[in-house]
Structure 1
Amino acid sequence: MAYPNEKLSEEKVFKDPVHRYIHVRDKVIWDLIGTKEFQRLRRIRQLGTTFLTFHGAEHSRFNHSLGVYEIVRRIVDDVFQGRPEWDEDERLLSLCAALLHDLGHGPFSHSFEKVFHLDHEAFTQAIILGNTEINRVLSQIGSDFPKKVTEVIAKTYPNKQVVSLISSQIDADRMDYLQRDAFYTGVSYGHFDMERILRLMRPREDQVVIKYSGMHAVEDYIMSRYQMYWQVYFHPVTRSAEVILTKILHRAKALYEDGYPFKCKPKHFYSIFSEKVTIEDYLKLDESIILFYFQEWQDEDDPILSDLCKRFINRILFKYVEFHPTNEQLMRLMELTSLFKKAGIDPDYYLVVDSSSDLPYDFYRPGEEEERLPIHLLMQNGEIRELSRESEIVDAISGKRRTDHKLYFPLDLLNDFSSKRNIKKKIISLLQLHK
């Protein structure tokens, strides 16, 4: 290795369905892609359980990460290059951070994180800084370079221009996943004029701004994001699969803690169950491993674990009804919980309220949790203006969080209540399934 600025003798190209081609000219980027930690992302789906709703959504964190890298490469090489406000010394750092920003995602990503209280960003940083192939490649650039990469990903790097390229309300991460997820799910919502947005991006001190003439393309981008969240990411069928997935993992952990004699021992989960997970253990986990256990656990003696695994593997998902957390509906939920117990169905695993929430765009609220740096427009007179001050469309949705609640349950089990008709009738009435 002869970094930091060594180029490949010949440019490498990945054929990509979203960006047409992904270009690799820097040897460090090529070597990072070849590490086992980055190759692991081929075995982590980008959209978790969404493939059970949109059958084309089989794409991985690997191709998304390449896409984010390509967008940043185009920005720093084609748009920012030569501009006095951009420091060329930040180029390689920007490219590496873009490529590695999702390195720490676990199998089924956010569902897995919630169950075991893990943080993929913390694992991303630990992998980059640990005894890994990734770290050895990055360290060839400089002993402090891996730390700089983690600072960009953690949004603590001093140069906010670099941070905003992969972490802002209009960043390369979002621009790639909206288009990529739209392509693989087959929907039209996620499409927007990225070419125009990129062409009109400008580096400014501590931020990246968009020329005013690109405002309508940015409006389209924000509305595309809004539609993708509610039509794809928060799809109720996908959430049903996530509910079952999380309940499988909760059940397996509970059985392990109770000393249950698994036929197929969850050895890959031991360190996670005991909350002593190491980087080595974590990197061995991918979705093929998880699905192997789900396949095997279909034959376990525990009826709940067996049933939930059969549901996930064979796509026998829970049904759902709308749920609003009012006093009346919370009382109804308590009554349903009692009826489920009388019917011999454990409500902890088979009666689940799931909530999804999104804030499509927000202006700057300093000091608040999850501060959101707004999108700024570069006006014709050189003034910098926050987007919602100029766009009536964006102003109409700024700071407005939308939340959706669903109540999930196994309708097929209720239909088997031939000997408990009175209970079934009460449950169906409370669920308002007769309407």
Structure 2
Amino acid sequence: MKSFHNVELLAKEKVFRDPVHGYIHVQHRIIMELIDSREFQRLRRIKQLGTSSFTFHGAEHSRFNHSLGVYEIARRICDKFVRNYPSQEKGDGLWDDDERLVTLCAALLHDLGHGPFSHTFEKIFNTDHEVVTIAIILSEETEVNQILRSISTDFPEQVASVISKTYPNPQVVQMISSQIDADRMDYLLRDAYYSGVTYGTFDLTRILRVIRPYTNGLIFDISGMHAVEDYVVSRYQMYMQVYFHPVSRGMEVVLYHLMKRAKDIYLDEDQEFIYATSFLEPFFKQNWTLADYLRLDDGVLTTYFSHWIDEVDPTLSDLASRFLNRKPFKSVRFDNTRDAERVKELQSLIQRMGYNPDYYTSTNNSFDLPYDLYRPGQISSRTQIEFIQKNGQMIELSEASAIVSSLTGQVRGDQRLYFPREITHGFSAGGVNLFDNLAEEFRSYIENEAIISE
């Protein structure tokens, strides 16, 4: 492996003031150049939490400051490893600091391919932010690629292989992507901070103290078990309380249907837009290029939404208004094994009220696996969290923690039916609900059939 010890350093360390980490420290010129690249600066215009800011109004932070945070945590881990676990000879399982630069670049660039309103956009246009991230890194047309190539001609491929998890050193891969990595540790702390909640807080300092390299990746000293345990529980709570919040999902459903309606109008030869949709047309036609993708951000889409309020199509106009003016769809929780027929009947009622079910009803499933251990034979297995005990033997986290054991392998979340809020809350006209009997039938059905309304 090529040595990167002589990579140019800045004449003076640069710092970014950060509310989560205090200071983010940059010593390498290449890191500063990557931060200043147009592809990385675009991340300032992509919200980290998408529609969650409609529920947690402080959650306006971006992929840009999250990416800086992941870089900073990776930098601190590298510093700790080179101080305490420097490799003495090839294959000893300790830290080779020649891996530092590829680690830091991968940490910084790992979210480069996120699109506007990330996951909703991916569902509509069949994009994959990880695939796009790799494409940005490997494309000779990007500033990021040109900067990476200044290190060596194969350096972009090395950085991309960390993102794709094919890089030969598992220590580097797991530092960026595993069940306890720099990415997850930063987004939990950052999302909790900006959301104004305490669920995602854990002892980062302690975890960074007990993490250590070994031949197969990363391991932790057993003395830090409770700090890691707290991290797993915090992650679970953030998913249940913030990421899966029903109101945020209600806004996401509106956004999904808004984009779906726009796409359907474009593909319908009998309809057309008043306003041009030039930036979105390659995605409607599914022939977009990387340059098309990089033109998009949250602001571009929001501008289109503002135009669409004035479009002729009443569904597009209505959904655009609902999204821009924060009118989330309401939801009821259901059990698909028990309530499938009931859900169909509710959707039928909604249609009888005059709503097109393709755009005004949706079932939304949000599930997460808080933690799992390695299971031989699984198609997609996770790298389990392991500790080294004082006697030198290893123990897996769920064996050491009764709390984590209760979460291990247990998928958590719920299924919801979403629909326009006014169906259950009504528009008043002299105290009379404009949906009258159908709305009352809908509400009674929910109450009598034990589908849970929230």
Pick aligned residue for 2:67 from 65, 68, 87: 65
CA offsets 1:403-423 (integer angstroms, 9 cap, x no match):
301111113256259565332
Secondary structure of 2:32's match? helix
Q: 1:148 matched to which residue of 2?
A: 158
**Cα 1:53–1:210, aligned 2, differ >3 Å: closer, same or farther?**
same
* In structure 1, distance between residues paired with 2:223 and 2:207: 10
Q: Which residues in structure 2 correspond to 1:209-224 (within 5 Å)? A: 209-224=219-234
Alignment of 1:116 onto 2:125: yes
Pick aligned residue for 1:105 from 114, 123, 129: 114
CA shift, 1:342, in A, is: 2.4
* In structure 2, distance between residues paired with 1:195 and 1:419: 57
**Equivalent pairs, count:** 433
The letter of the residue matching 2:128 is D
CA offsets 1:205-244 (integer angstroms, 9 cap, x no match):
1211000000010011111101101010000110001000
CA shift, 1:339, in A, is: 2.4
* In structure 1, distance between residues paired with 2:8 and 2:49: 35
Pick aligned residue for 1:234 from 235, 244, 248: 244
Q: Which residues in structure 2 correspond to 1:118-267 (within 5 Å)? A: 118-130=127-139, 131-259=141-269, 260-267=271-278
Q: Is the 8 A contact 2:110 2:133 kept in 1?
A: yes
* In structure 1, distance between residues paired with 2:148 and 2:325: 43
* In structure 2, distance between residues paired with 1:40 and 1:323: 39
Q: 1:431 matched to which residue of 2?
A: 446
Consecutive aligned runs of 4 or more in structure 1 exceeding 6 Å deviation: none
* In structure 2, distance between residues paired with 1:80 and 1:404: 44
* In structure 2, distance between residues paired with 1:333 and 1:144: 54
Q: 1:321 matched to which residue of 2?
A: 332
Question: Is there any run of 5+ residues in structure 1 with no aligned partner, and where?
Answer: none
* In structure 1, distance between residues paired with 2:6 and 2:445: 65
Pick aligned residue for 2:383 from 373, 376, 380: 373
* In structure 2, distance between residues paired with 1:419 and 1:143: 67
Q: TM-score, structure 1 length as denominator?
A: 0.96
Q: Which residues in structure 2 correspond to 1:415-426 (within 5 Å)? A: 415-416=426-427, 421-426=436-441
Question: Is there any run of 5+ residues in structure 2 with no aligned partner, and where?
Answer: 88-93
Alignment of 1:75 onto 2:77: yes
Percent of aligned pairs sharing the same letter: 54
* In structure 1, distance between residues paired with 2:5 and 2:168: 24
**Cα 1:67–1:264, aligned 2, differ >3 Å: closer, same or farther?**
same
Q: 1:282 matched to which residue of 2?
A: 293
Q: 2:317 matched to which residue of 1?
A: 306
* In structure 1, distance between residues paired with 2:351 and 2:196: 41
* In structure 2, distance between residues paired with 1:193 and 1:413: 45
* In structure 1, distance between residues paired with 2:378 and 2:280: 36
Q: Which moved more, 1:110-119 or 1:35-44?
A: 110-119
Q: 2:105 matched to which residue of 1?
A: 96
* In structure 1, distance between residues paired with 2:325 and 2:390: 58
Q: Is the 8 A contact 1:357 1:404 kept in 2?
A: yes
Q: 1:352 matched to which residue of 2?
A: 362
Q: TM-score, structure 2 length as denominator?
A: 0.92
**Cα 1:87–1:79, aligned 2, differ >3 Å: closer, same or farther?**
closer
Q: Is the 8 A contact 2:343 2:417 kept in 1?
A: no
CA shift, 1:368, in A, is: 2.3
